[in-house]
Structure 1
Amino acid sequence: MHAKTDSDGTSLDTSWLPRSPRRPVYYVQSPSNHDVEKMSYGSSPTVSPPHLYYHCSPIHHSRESSTSRFSNSLKMPRSLSAWKHIRIDDGDGDDHDGDDDDEKDDGGGASKVRLYFIGLLFFVLLFTVFCLILWGASKGYKPEVSVKSMVFENFYIQAGNDQTGVPTDMLSLNSTVKIHYRNPATFFAVHVTSTPLEIHYFQLKLASGQMKKFSQPRKSRRTVVTVVHSSQVPLYGGMPPLADAREHANKVAVPLNLTFSLRSRAYILGRLVKSKFYNRVRCTVTLTGKKLGKPHNLTKACVYL
């Protein structure tokens, strides 16, 4: 038994104290880069062999904890930086791939739009040329108009008053005009209208009549009969040849002019291609008292413009 003297002089008997075994010495070695990388990718670190007094050694526990913390501090930043690097690279690759795909899609869409535009332009140009060809071909099929005859049924001259009460001679006239119309076109019909048919003695209008509109099929003809008449037209002394008409009607011979215009419209391709034809007619005819009710041949007495 040994007695231990404290610094204040008190002696202590140390024989009753339990003797603790000597604690083992541990050496901490920093893991290499290769080990850190292995640990960062999920490999389990090598654990120190268990010791009999491991649980009761605070020094060992503290050193073990510090070793673990040091290892974690070594592997976490490197693993985070590695993952960040991988994720950034993947994102950049995806962005570049997306940009390339977008550029390819944009280029393909633009080329398709250009092709569609060129095709549409070519179709419009071709259709326009086709319409112009049809329109030009239709101009060679101008309708044929011929005034065949005119019949003066009757005319009367009598004294009267105009609308203002002025006394003057009044003329009433009734006549018919026969017109031949032919459509020589082989691929279109025509719709025909006319201006009023008028009978003039120089500048004085004596009678008028309206032709009915009609449609003429291709390569066909017809005869149109139009009534031209007047009633109670004041003369105001403007027709000296008719001065003695009331007493000597058979001796009356008055030169007159018959004028009118025909308009023919051809719808070649629906409403898209239209062709118009105009026929202006001027005929010279003589009103003769001896030929009332008899036709006047106007085949060679008309001018067609």
Structure 2
Amino acid sequence: MHAKTDSEGTSVDTTWPPRSPPRRPVYYVQSPSNHDVEKMSYDGSSPAGSPPHHFYHCSPIHHSRESSTSRFSASLKNPRSLSAWKHVQLNGHRRAGLDDDDDDDGDEFVAGGVRGFGSSRYNSVRVYILGLCFFVLLFTLFCLILWGASKSYAPKIAVKSMVFENFNVQAGNDGSGVPTDMLSLNSTVKIHYRNPGTFFAVHVTSTPLELHYFQLKLASGQMKKFSQPRKSGRTVVTVVKAHQVPMYGGVPVLANAYTNMGRVAVPLNLTFTVRSRAYILGRLVKSKFYTKVRCRLTLHGNHLGTPHNLTNACFYG
């Protein structure tokens, strides 16, 4: 028996032994395009639609890309040699490496996008913070300018006069029953107050007005609080009085006052502090002015009801 080999490398029997049964034909089943493994069938019965001749002649078209893909898929299933198996593994690793590179590029793109978004958001926050700081700085500067300007408009205070309407010293007993001289008096003080401020009003309060004989307090009175509009003034009248104040011999000039009141002359000091608050920009900007007043005067028993001029007798600080 002789075999003939064609140019494509396919062996075909040319002679057949006599009286031998016909040999089963060989069929090549082409794998579909989804790279399934090529199946070779040596079935005993001929399927329907098979060619009637005894051999299959391979044409050059079967060595196309589809045939090579089929052989590659078959080699995945049944590698014929060690070198083929290594070749298959190497191709698989290269393909996996390409897929990983694509995934890494996508991750870097996503991460870059996230980083870019975070950076832009951070820059926006910085812009807002800088704008807020700039606004606070300007507002603070504006408030300082108003506060400094208000300091040149300190209130003007002048004690005009004081009138002793009555004065009386008599013998009596203190709260514990100790006999001593008891003093009573009633007087009024006129104070002129002026607010020279051009853009703010002031709220005025005062400490108690006190009459002292050296360190001994004889009488006191409280000035009512008020609000003074800008560029305006008023005269405030405050009552300073004393009722049954025990002397305990602390005022020697009053020893014989109840017998000879016309000759009594008692040196006194009138002291108090005027507090003025200017609300320039609501409650945010406030200016405070404190004026301490001290006036020296003399109480004469024969000048009751006569105003004492204190224009030049007071000190302001």
Shorter-chain TM-score: what band?
0.7 to 0.9
2:197 is aligned with 1:177: no
Shift of 1:73: 3.3
Aligned match of 1:240: 252
What CA distance in whole angstroms lies between the structure 2 residues aligned with 1:103 and 1:220? 65
Aligned match of 1:292: 304
Mapping for residues 177-256 of structure 1, pairs under 5 Å: 177-256=189-268
Aligned match of 1:260: 272
Deviations, residues 63-119 of structure 1 (Å, cap 9, x unaligned): xxxxx9966434787997787566434422221110111121122122222222221
Aligned match of 1:151: 163
Most deviating of 75-84 and 130-139: 75-84
The verdict on how the C-alpha distance between 1:129 and 1:261 changes in structure 2, with shifts beyond 3 A counting, is same
Aligned match of 1:54: 46
Aligned match of 2:135: 123
Aligned match of 2:25: 24
What CA distance in whole angstroms lies between the structure 2 residues aligned with 1:231 and 1:103? 84
Aligned match of 2:284: 272
What CA distance in whole angstroms lies between the structure 1 residues aligned with 2:216 and 2:26? 147
The verdict on how the C-alpha distance between 1:20 and 1:69 changes in structure 2, with shifts beyond 3 A counting, is farther
What CA distance in whole angstroms lies between the structure 1 residues aligned with 2:186 and 2:195? 30
Find the residue that maps to 1:263 and give its secondary structure. Answer: strand
Find the residue that maps to 2:127 and give its secondary structure. Answer: helix
Q: Which runs of 5+ in 1 are unaligned?
A: 1-17, 61-67
- Amino acid in the other structure paired with 1:138: S
What CA distance in whole angstroms lies between the structure 1 residues aligned with 2:103 and 2:272? 87
Find the residue that maps to 2:281 and give its secondary structure. Answer: coil
What CA distance in whole angstroms lies between the structure 2 residues aligned with 1:239 and 1:117? 70
Q: Which runs of 5+ in 2 are unaligned?
A: 1-18, 56-68, 78-87
Find the residue that maps to 1:54 and give its secondary structure. Answer: coil
Aligned match of 2:120: 108
Sequence identity (%): 60
- Amino acid in the other structure paired with 1:279: T
Whether the 8 Å CA contact 2:209–2:221 is kept in 1: the answer is yes
Most deviating of 248-257 and 147-156: 248-257
What CA distance in whole angstroms lies between the structure 2 residues aligned with 1:104 and 1:248? 100
What CA distance in whole angstroms lies between the structure 2 residues aligned with 1:82 and 1:55? 41
* TM-score, with length taken from structure 2: 0.74
What CA distance in whole angstroms lies between the structure 1 residues aligned with 2:184 and 2:26? 152
The verdict on how the C-alpha distance between 1:54 and 1:69 changes in structure 2, with shifts beyond 3 A counting, is farther
- Amino acid in the other structure paired with 1:24: P
- Amino acid in the other structure paired with 1:55: P
What CA distance in whole angstroms lies between the structure 2 residues aligned with 1:234 and 1:159? 9
Find the residue that maps to 1:268 and give its secondary structure. Answer: strand
For these two proteins, the number of residue pairs brought into alignment is: 268
Most deviating of 271-280 and 70-79: 70-79
Whether the 8 Å CA contact 2:202–2:279 is kept in 1: the answer is yes
Whether the 8 Å CA contact 2:38–2:74 is kept in 1: the answer is no
Find the residue that maps to 2:262 and give its secondary structure. Answer: helix
